[in-house]
Each structure stands twice: as C-alpha cells, then as structure tokens.
Amino acid sequence: MTKQKYAMQRLAFLLLTVVCGVLSWSDVARAADPVACLKSFSDFPQVNLKRLLDGEIVSERGTLMNLRTGISTQSCYATPLSPAETAKRLQEWNPLSHESLGVYRFHSVSAPPDAADFNDLDFKLDKRAVRWLLSKTLSTTAGDSDLNLSRAESQQIASSLKKNSTPQEVAACWTKLLMARASAFQSKGFEGVAPYEVSGEKVSPAEQIRLMVKEKSRIAREFDPLIQKIGLVGGAAALKPFYYWNLFSSEGYGTLCLGAMYSLPVDDHYQLLDVEYYVSGSYYASATFYEIWPIQAGDKKGSLVWRGDLFSSGGLAYTKGMERIAYGAIMLLEIKKGIRAFQDDIKAAR
C-alpha cells in the first residue's frame, strides 16, 4: 500500500470517528437535556425549570387542526418525584377526591373484564348530569339515540329497558355494554373498537385518534417507540395498559368512558399515552400523551412533565374562529385544574 493511499484511508477513518462521535454526543446531549428535547417536538421553545418546580403550570392551545372534529392543547409542569414514580402515579391516579373535577365514579377494569368492576355504576346519584344520561338512555330506540352507540347497542338498550325502568336496571344494561366494549378492546385492540352511529353515519373513535395523531406529526415522531407498541397503527399490542372506566360530567352532560393508560420507559425517561377509546356522549374520543424527564434546578430535583391532549368532538365541526379559540381556552382551564389536583395529591402523600 502506498503512503498516499494509507494516508487517505487514515484520514477517512478519522473523519468517520469524528462524525460518529458527534452523533453519539448529540444523542447523549438530547437524552441529558429535557428542555432541548421538549423544544424539538412541542410548542414550548423554552421553559423555566425552577418556576415549574416551584409549582408553575404553563400551557398552550394547539394550532388549528385540519380534522374538523379535532382540537389540541399542550401543557408543562413538574413533580418532586422521579420519572418512574411520576409515571406510576399518573397511570393509576384516581381523581374522585376532587369534587371540582366533576368525576362521580372511577374504577380499574380487570383483564378480562369482570362485572364486579362496574358495581359502583350508579344512576341514582343526585347529580343533574347523571339524570341527563339516565334520561337519554331511556329514550334510546332501536334506530335512534342521542348517545354514542353502535346500531347493535341501541337495539340492545331498546330491548332491555322500558320508559319506566329503574336506575338499577339502567346500570345493569350499561354494565353489559361496557363489558362487551372493554372485552373487545382487550382482545382485539383498536381494531375491536366498534364505531358509533351518529346521524346515520358511522364514526370510529379509533380512527379519530389515528387521524389526530397522524396530523400532529412531530408528536407522532417523538412518541413512535410507544405508538408502535400499542397497536394504534396496526399489529398486536406489546404493552399491557392500566384499564379503567369512569362516570363524569362533560360540559354538564353525564358521560361514561372506557380508557387505557400505557407506560413505556425510554432511556432515562418515560412516555405515557392515555386513550379514551369509548365515550358515551359529548365527544368522540381523546388521546393524552405524557413525556417525563428527570430535572434539577438548584437544590430542587424532580420530573418535568409534558402533556399533549388530542380531543375529538362532533360539536367542533361547527365551530370556527373565535368560537373554536374559546373552546380551546376552556379546555385548557379544565386541564390545568386536573394537573393542579394531581400535584396536590402528590403533596398530600409525601
């Protein structure tokens, strides 16, 4: 080998080493700097870690979505816990003790679902929102309902209940319906989510979630490790989520929901996704992403939490301009209220 050829090979090797080193250092720096990572995919160009650790919550209404039924928001806050502990608390957080959140019932769902999981479902609650849901259930016919139901579910309710059915009978009917949906989701994933019959059209809550995630491409890229493991874009789910149901007030309307909360450790941080794959009314579906990193500011340590909410509602299709902006502002207020309640529970437990 000539000296010139050897020198050229040696130079190429050195250049390759430098490039690999730069790439490796870039990956390390990204993992070690949550603020830089946050900037790469979120709507927050900068956050003040000290102020977040002191209790500040920052939030932004997302840009208008092409999906007419879709809206999004983003929030940032901190906890005094490690990412692992924060992720665990988020995945199993029970909001029932906070009356201002309008949650009347919250319960985990077994795998496979068990009727005992729904023993707390109570239509005798003296709440206007619950009375509304009771009334809409009893007025459902085989071909028409104001609730998010498949045609088969409408027929099931119509054949099981009469106008004078008791709240206990209504609860029993909803228990069967929710168990069937939960069982289908647990066995078939997002492909097992039956579409709603809305004004003669089929609306798939699973497809609504997919479309919203696809539109938020930067978020989708950031959460690709998690998205690929839950079967949202096809294939079998590789993660076992925390399954749950709840009964709550949404804009004053009683609403039943089935959800699944997934958690995935990624290097030194965590990614979570909370999907509401069935919602009885008021809106179609939602997906809430979380990314949690370890942080320190001065002598304070904890976790930085980014939260991104994607929300699909039929009512949004008829809103424009300021009306939609106002809707997003109200949504942010409710999300902040929930975050503050979660932080208060952490403080109370310490």
Number of C-beta neighbours around residue 87 at 10 A: 24
Per-residue CA distances from 163 to 22, 159, 171, 218 (Å): 71, 11, 14, 49
Largest pairwise CA distance in the chain? 98
pLDDT in tens, 142-198: 999 999 999 999 999 999 999 999 999 999 999 999 999 999 999 999 999 999 999
pLDDT in tens, 209-265: 999 999 999 999 999 999 999 999 887 789 999 999 999 999 999 999 999 999 999
Backbone angles phi, psi at 318, to 5 degrees: -110, 10
pLDDT in tens, 54-69: 999 999 998 778 999 9
pTM of the model: 0.89
What superfamily would CATH give domain 34-114+203-349?
Answer: START domain (3.30.530.20)
For the record, the structure tokens of 196 come out as 């709603």
289 strand-pairing partners: 273, 308
pLDDT confidence band for 115 (50 / 70 / 90): very high
Comparing 26 with 225, the larger pLDDT belongs to 225
Q: What residues does each domain of the chain span?
A: 34-114+203-349
For the record, the structure tokens of 324 come out as 């939609």
